[in-house]
Amino acid sequence: MTQFNELGLAAPLLRALDEAGYTTPTPIQAKAIPTVLEGRDLLGIAQTGTGKTAAFSLPILHRLNAKGGRPPRGGCRALILSPTRELSSQIADSIRTYGAHLGLSVAVVFGGVPHGPQRRALSQGVDILVATPGRLQDHLDQGTARLDRVEVLVLDEADQMLDKGFLPAIRRLVKALPSQRQTLFFSATMPQEIGRLAAELLNDPARVEVAPVATTAERVAQRVIHLEQGNKRRILADLLRGEGVGRALVFSRTKHGADRVVKQLDQDGLSANAIHGNKSQGQRERALAAFKDGTAPILVATDIAARGIDVDGVTHVVQYDLPEVPETYVHRIGRTARAGASGEAVALVAADDLEKLWAVEKLIRQVIPAEDMREDKTRSLAKPGLLQRQGAQGAKTGGRGQGRGHGNGRGQPGAHGGQRQGQGGRPQGEGHRPPQGQSARPQQPKAAPQGQGQTPGGDATRRRPQEGSRRDREAFRSGDFRDNAPAFLTRGR
């Protein structure tokens, strides 16, 4: 197993790591550090909590220490852009820990605090500057910052930058940077626009990927509670009073919603604080401190905290509101089960949240175990028109049992989500409704030719090549997909 002392880092860095109790690098650190030390650009794909900060901080500290020199007045030698104040502060704290024996200067620039101290820090020049894009752009516009001497640029949590609308500001900042620089780009997911930005900024980058995109953290036990919207408050309070609940992070969709949840929890006798963009920096720091020391072990947050809070011992993440963007679900639940611990992620899902739940399940390619705590259970929880269980005599999920298309086991799921049709299938008209405007077609007297499956209600057949078909079939059988079948089931191989 790789050790930090095998990566070529300077002795003062190894000493600081040893004092902090770090001896074994995480996978992304073991892969990224040697590449960055070579001077190459890097595209890193990794979930939150995998150790990305050290993966870029350690080789930057090594490089600046080896090269020597002073930072330019008003500028910096290395620039790290991050999406939130909390994440910026944590990155800076980590860099100070790793560089404790190097004497390099570190400054943080973000909004919500006065400009004066930041202007004074920049005026002297800093070796490493950690900043949010908006406030750094303010300093550039005011002439109190310069970026023409930056040697290394880091974009951390680039996909969250996209979510927060920072891409225009990032592009303006990049225009102020020298073209000759090393660029390190880190993201947990790679949506199309982030991919385009990476292509613009990186020059022949090495790619390091340590976890599949949209993979939920291991050791997190996920579950869904179906309920009415009006019962969320009661069930949340019962959940947070439950056995084994230590620090709990509760996510709300809006700032006002977060404040309302805190007020309700206080009325229910539970100590909680809120953290969101309308809070002052002092309020946010006090809320985090109370969360860490257990004074107020419940923190209600908007997505500003999805990747900006790194607190050990979070036992539960509760999604009071599911996110609009399904990838955000993955980042939220990554706040628990850190540093080898286990954790639980619970989503409270009312009727209006079902579409968001199906989008999450499609993204992570699994059905989250669910408990139905609704008072009115008459409404179906399955998305209309998709492959469903149809009773003991109907088709089982994934095409097993009665109604399974034979065709050598390769019948396609119905184009409209209906049961598979084939030899031994259920007769048309019994539990199957064809598309509007078409009459039910008689059952096919013969099995479909090998490699083909009839789409009920459709007017064509589709051929599935044999390559990969067993894997696709097993993947489909293992889960009750409530949205359109994932891409790996429908695309040709």
Q: Which residues pair with 152 in a beta bridge?
A: 78, 182
User: Per residue in 184-203, pLDDT tens?
Assistant: 999 877 878 888 999 999 99
Asked, for residue 215, whether it belongs to a domain, the answer is no
Asked, for residue 14, whether it belongs to a domain, the answer is yes
| 224 and 274 together in one domain | yes
Encode burial over 372-406: b for 16+ CB neighbours within 10 A, e otherwise. eebeeeeeebebeebbbebeeebbbbbbeeebbbb
| 42 and 191 together in one domain | yes
Q: How far apart are the first and last CA of the chain?
A: 37
Q: How far is CA 123 from CA 75, 93, 99, 139, 153, in A?
A: 8, 21, 22, 11, 20
Mean pLDDT over the full length of the chain? 79
Q: What is the residue type of 122? A: L
Which residues have a Cβ under 8 Å from the Cβ of 225 and sit 6 or more positions away? 235, 239, 346, 347, 348, 349, 370, 371, 373
| 245 and 367 together in one domain | yes
Q: Which of 209, 231, 246 is the last residue of a domain?
A: 209
| 72 and 158 together in one domain | yes
Identify which of 41-45, 398-402, 488-492 has the greatest average pLDDT: 41-45
Rg (alpha carbons) of the chain, rounded to whole number = 26
Position of tokens 């404040």? Answer: 259
Domain count, the chain: 3
* Structural domain range at position 335: 220-372
Asked, for residue 58, whether it belongs to a domain, the answer is yes
Contact 4, 22 (CB under 8 A): yes
Give me the pLDDT at residue 453, please.
38
Asked, for residue 98, whether it belongs to a domain, the answer is yes
Considering only residues 272 and 391, tell me which one the structure prediction assigns the higher pLDDT: 272
Give me the pLDDT at residue 483, please.
39
CB-count exposure of residue 467 (10 Å: 0-12, 13-18, 19+): exposed
Structure tokens at 145: 């910052």
Give me the pLDDT at residue 341, please.
67
Structure tokens at 114: 């006065």
Q: Which residues pair with 130 in a beta bridge?
A: 80, 108
Asked, for residue 383, whether it belongs to a domain, the answer is no
Asked, for residue 140, whether it belongs to a domain, the answer is yes
User: Per residue in 417-444, pLDDT tens?
Assistant: 333 333 344 434 344 444 444 444 444 4
pLDDT mean over 131-155: 95
Which residues have a Cβ under 8 Å from the Cβ of 217 and sit 6 or more positions away? 47, 49, 330, 333, 334, 336, 337
| 283 and 200 together in one domain | no
Asked, for residue 241, whether it belongs to a domain, the answer is yes
Helices (H) and strands (E) in the chain, counts: 16, 16
| 37 and 138 together in one domain | yes
pTM listed for this prediction: 0.60
Contact 196, 226 (CB under 8 A): no
Contact 281, 112 (CB under 8 A): yes
Q: Which of 338, 372, 406 is the last residue of a domain?
A: 372
Considering only residues 374 and 209, tell me which one the structure prediction assigns the higher pLDDT: 374
CA of residue 30 relative to chain centroid, distance:
22
| 167 and 305 together in one domain | no
Asked, for residue 423, whether it belongs to a domain, the answer is yes
| 356 and 431 together in one domain | no
- DSSP per residue over 347-410, as a string? EEE-GGGHHHHHHHHHHHTSPPPEEE--S---S--SPTTS-----TTSPPGGG-STT---GGG-
| 356 and 300 together in one domain | yes
| 149 and 108 together in one domain | yes
| 51 and 130 together in one domain | yes
Q: Which of 209, 231, 264 is the last residue of a domain?
A: 209
| 344 and 421 together in one domain | no
Which of the 8 DSSP states describes residue 434? Answer: P
Contact 370, 401 (CB under 8 A): no
What's 130's domain CATH number?
3.40.50.300
